[in-house]
A and B are shown apart, each in its own frame.
Chain A
Amino acid sequence: MTISNIIFIIVFLGALAFFGFKVKQIIANIKLGKAENRFDRKSERLKTMLRVALGQSKMRARPIAAILHMFIYVAFMITQIELIEIIIDGATGSHRIFQPMLGGLYTFTISLIEVLSLLALVATIAFLSRRNLIKLPRFVKSEMNGWPKLDGNIILYLEFVLVICIFTMNGADEVLHVRSGHESYGFAISSWMGPMFFGGMETTTLIILERVGWWGHIIMVLTFLCYLPFSKHLHIIWAFPNTYFSKLRPMGQFTNMESVTNEVKLMMDPNADPYAVPAVDPDAVPQKFGAKDVEDLSWVNILNAYTCTECGRCTSECPANITGKKLSPRKIMMDVRDRAEEVGAGKRKEGDKFNDGKSLLGDFITEEEIWACTSCNACVQACPVNIDPLEIIMDLRRYLVMEESKMPSELATMNTNIENNQAPWQFSPSDRFKWKDEA
């Protein structure tokens, strides 16, 4: 074992450990949310996951983005095969260990990877220009200022460097291989591009270049891995559980709050004694209706937030946002993630007594935002990974109305009307059937 094998093993395991550590933290943050049963209807869930996450069915709504995204996605998936080889080579000091074993299949696989990498490069350049030159509206909304914008670009730069490394590695290797008296590897792109770029170089330079490409490749992959937990790019993993656990009910069906059902049943039960002291569980946490902070949301909502890729498809379809209101469903998701990170970190440091005096509602999401929602479900429909911002908006409304009695005054009037007149307007209930006799 050479020193470079040892360095490789240390770097590789270190990156893996760090990634595992971060993922554990994220899972803990997701578990900050309240329990909700999304473990039913397993085969339907599996099908949804295969269709939406693996098959990217909802990307089709925007065909050009879908194709470009598909290039990067497929390249990423297929490159994992090559990665296995790189890991074995790196740890044992072998060189292209699969080549003699697989023969023609090897040539085919690497060729495929090369073609896809080139397509991914094209997509990367297109994506970078969409964000920075064309400035597609959904990428330049206010919630994208600062870190989110940088994050989007960093990922694309990494991708760019990664592809360059792959071609440097294969191209230099091709020339070296032939120079040492072998036949060409015959890979689709590097077999002609290698000699073109590297053919005139010294052998020693080429050996260095090949190593630079090889190490660059694996270091980019590991950097990417360690970077994921901090990035919107987490969606490449989280999209799978997220679509699996997504809502299977009709979009229009909101949850009926069980806590409310119990109280309403008690109120409506003619046999219930209104003065009876309810059996009090001394350890019970006082019941809170709706959500003020991330811990009041369901774990699915927080999983949603970590899955959000900040693509802005939701926001670009949102009627409130389109007409200049402050509401942006993407921002709702970004806020939930930021707050979950904050609360999670705080709890790890200070335990359950953690209280920074802040909350999701108020410090991150304002009342003005949530009251602008028409509950139209356009955001839910648009999301390529089945995220549901509307559930969160509704839970925040519930908190405001049922815990703080805070709502636009017209809605307070509407509620009073429903209570008193059984209609949202101030009409007498006895007039409800008058329409029949009116001309």
Chain B
Amino acid sequence: MGELRVPTMAELAAKGQQPDVLFWVGCAGSFDDRAKKITKALVKILNKCDVNFAVLGAEESCTGDPAKRAGNEFLFQMQAMMNIQVLDGYEIKKIVTACPHCFNTLKNEYPGLGGKYEVIHHTQLIQDLFDSGKLTVEGGTFKGKKITFHDPCYLGRANGVYEAPREILSKLDAELVEMKRCKAKGLCCGAGGAQMFKEAEKGDKEINVERTEEALKTNPNIIATGCPFCNTMMTDGVKNFNKENDVQVLDIAEMIANAADL
């Protein structure tokens, strides 16, 4: 696969063009080394399917989600209004993002501040690509593997998206095994509500260890996620059990990109 084609909004606007969808990369997807791989995997899928998309590049800014969940509504709304100015400036109509936190905030909390867009999670976009026949995969390396999917809270419970990730995974000829606590009852990885950025309060266990333990009980080859923060938490959890050689933690976009030989 050659160069990634990642046009920015500024470039498109200069040419008088408009993308069909804006890819909101998010802070993790832009800066976190592990999450950057997810970003690139998604770009490969978008490129392969010739999706007319663009990113904001350096014009993107934190949605303000972690500030809001940490109680700093001022900072959240400052960020939101700044972002809405940029998005509206480019007349954005539709946004896709690989981060459930960005997804939730853009979709649910921006409209009240004037930012009204159609917002979808990348698993929903990938499902659309499959449904419209633009994307096909064979099981490839995933054939016969055991995969368990960890529901990100802000995708699942918060927004009721349970099926898109599972339907995509079902394309991989793999065996999908559910954890005891899944879908609406899924247990948090421990990162939400700005916990990602602080030490946990005193307790007798880390939440990500509790969750990973549950995932490992299904004896998976792969723990699949759809959130960069869940990914970090589960990866750390797997290391905690010294299982990093046996169990991979992968984003659904990475798995699809891999299966499609991208």
Contact = CB atoms under 8 A, between A and B. Distances in A.
Contacts of A373: 193
A427 B28 CA distance: 11
Interface string B149-192: 00001100111100000000000000000000000110110111
Interface of A: 61, 249-254, 256-257, 260-261, 263-265, 267-268, 289-290, 317, 319-320, 322-327, 368, 371-378, 380-382, 394, 397-402, 407-408, 410-411, 413-415, 418-419, 422-425, 427, 429-433, 435-436, 438
B27 A423 contact: yes
B77 A397 contact: no
A377 B210 CA distance: 17
Interface string B82-125: 10000000000000000000001000110011000000000000
B180 to A, nearest CB: 12
A319 B205 CA distance: 10
Contacts of A265: 81
Given A372-B200, A375-B193, A398-B71, 7 more contacts: A252-B154, A264-B74, A317-B185, A378-B153, A401-B70, A411-B70, A418-B79
The interface centre, meaning the residue of B4, B55, B77, B108 with most chain A CB atoms within 10 A of its CB, is B77
Contacts of A324: 202-205
B30 A378 contact: no
A256 B113 contact: yes
Given A252-B159, A381-B157, A424-B27, A325 B62 contact: no
A348 to B, nearest CB: 32
B73 A374 contact: no
B48 interface: no
Nearest to A321: B203
B71 A407 contact: yes
Contacts of B188: 319, 374, 376, 378
B39 A250 contact: no
A433 B81 contact: no
A169 to B, nearest CB: 44
A263 B76 CA distance: 13
B73 A410 contact: no
B14 to A, nearest CB: 16
A368 B202 CA distance: 9
Given A381-B185, A414-B66, A436-B6, A253 B109 contact: yes
A408 to B, nearest CB: 5
Given A250-B158, A423-B27, A424-B62, A322 B199 contact: no
Contacts of B194: 411, 414
Interface string B41-69: 00000000000000101101110101111
A418 B70 CA distance: 12
A255 B34 CA distance: 32
A40 to B, nearest CB: 14
B193 A410 contact: no
B77 A256 contact: yes
A397 B72 CA distance: 8
Contacts of B184: 381
A323 B210 contact: yes
B78 interface: yes
Given A252-B159, A374-B190, A414-B66, A401 B72 contact: yes
B104 A325 contact: no
Contacts of A375: 69, 153, 192-193
B136 to A, nearest CB: 26
B30 A423 contact: yes
Contacts of A289: 73
Contacts of B25: 432, 435
A101 B203 CA distance: 65
Does more than half of chain A's interface fall in helix, strand or loop, or is it mixed? Answer: helix
A60 B48 CA distance: 45
Nearest to A376: B188
A408 B198 CA distance: 7
Nearest to B68: A254
B192 A374 contact: yes
A381 B113 CA distance: 27
Nearest to A318: B188
A414 B77 contact: no
A164 B184 CA distance: 41
A128 B62 CA distance: 52
A187 to B, nearest CB: 43
B259 interface: no
Given A375-B193, A414-B66, A319 B71 contact: no
Q: Which 6 A-B pairs have the closest CB atoms?
A: A252-B158, A397-B71, A375-B193, A324-B204, A253-B108, A324-B203
B225 to A, nearest CB: 15
Contact of A436 (B4, B62, B200, B209): B4
B197 A410 contact: yes
A410 B66 CA distance: 12
Contact of A418 (B39, B64, B190): B64
B92 to A, nearest CB: 17
A433 B72 contact: no
Contact of A433 (B55, B61, B154): B55
B159 A250 contact: yes
A376 B36 contact: no
Contacts of A267: 78
Contact of B203 (A263, A264, A320, A399): A320
A408 B199 contact: yes
The interface centre, meaning the residue of A251, A289, A374 with most chain B CB atoms within 10 A of its CB, is A374
Contacts of B205: 322-324
B195 interface: yes
A424 B203 contact: no
A397 B70 contact: yes
Nearest to A410: B198
A323 B158 contact: no
A251 B201 contact: no
Given A251-B158, A376-B192, A419 B75 contact: yes
Nearest to B60: A432
B40 interface: yes
Given A374-B153, A378-B187, A415-B67, A260 B74 contact: yes
A250 B159 CA distance: 6
A325 B67 CA distance: 22
